[in-house]
């Protein structure tokens, strides 16, 4: 099961994605994955937190408003 939460702060937008799936080991995709996400968030002056454990993966992105 996955869940997406979008919150608006006074000066930023916050996105949280929670996925309780097993994930993938070694990737195998053709995209840029988490590295690409980190690069894009950094270009916008934001921050990204990624946690992966036995209960799944969570990604939290905070991007400031200009």
In the prediction, which pLDDT does 34 show?
84
Q: How far is CA 43 from the centre of its chain?
A: 15
Q: How many CA atoms lie within 13 A of 58 on its CB side?
A: 10
> What is the count of structural domains for the chain?
1
CATH code at position 17: 3.30.565.10
Structure tokens at 20: 């309780």
Over residues 11-62, the pLDDT tens digits come to 999 999 999 987 665 556 666 788 899 999 999 999 999 998 888 889 999 9
**Domain span at 10:** 2-64
| Rounded CA separation 45/11 (Å) | 12
CA-based nearest residue to 62, from 17, 18, 15: 15
């Amino acid at each position: 099961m996955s869940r997406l939460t979008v919150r608006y702060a006074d000066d930023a937008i916050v996105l949280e994605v929670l996925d309780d799936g097993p994930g993938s080991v070694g990737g195998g995709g053709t995209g840029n994955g988490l590295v690409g996400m980190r690069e894009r968030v950094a270009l916008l002056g934001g921050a990204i937190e990624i946690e992966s454990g036995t209960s799944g993966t969570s990604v939290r992105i905070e991007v400031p408003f200009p």
